Structure 1
């Protein structure tokens, strides 16, 4: 895993894993929180940058508002993109 992908995973663990499944398997702790491995089905992952920069706001009260800086956005998207493709191992 590349350094940016590792930083994105670390961000997801620290900020998202309490509700979302952030890995390749397992369910989300909060049922309404989509697993990260399924986000690319709902949204083109590379288009999430604008939402992450402006602050993600969702229609349910349990999702906190997040506003990431450019480096965090790049890292998180790099990690999310790893979930779209089969691993090479």
Structure 2
């Protein structure tokens, strides 16, 4: 039987507790997921170019897709026409978190904010 030493348990506990949970904040969890799985190829923040030039910047995905519609593809496995893109499959909660994060990258017009009225 393999047993972890006390320092190993402490490291594991600190590592697990440092990962944001979906219940804490889906946007934070979604950002962590895209940073973990997507930043090697895609620009995943409000600025910067994608490391892989053919990979779309996440802040511009709304120009190609209704970002909400990507949830199903995230769960079933995104498959693209270019071979460099690995196939990822996320659970529904992870997909929801990723979508929540992607929505924060979309521009919000002043006009749309004025139509919604003051925040409560």
Could you tell me the TM-score, scaled by structure 1's length?
Answer: 0.92
The alignment's C-alpha RMSD in Å is: 1.1
Q: How many residues align?
A: 85
Could you tell me the TM-score, scaled by structure 2's length?
Answer: 0.68
User: Does the residue aligned with 1:18 lie in a helix, a strand or coil?
Assistant: coil
Runs of 4+ in 1 over 3 A off after TM superposition: none
Higher relative contact order (CA 8 A, sep 6+): 1
2:33 aligned residue? 11
- The alpha carbon displacement at 1:85 in A equals 3.1
- The alpha carbon displacement at 1:16 in A equals 0.1
Q: Which runs of 5+ in 1 are unaligned?
A: none
1:69 aligned residue? 91
Report the Cα distance in structure 2 between the residues aligned to 1:12 and 1:52, rounded to whole angstroms: 12
1:54 aligned residue? 76
- The alpha carbon displacement at 1:69 in A equals 0.2
Q: Which runs of 5+ in 2 are unaligned?
A: 1-23, 109-120
User: Does the residue aligned with 1:85 lie in a helix, a strand or coil?
Assistant: coil
Larger Rg: 2
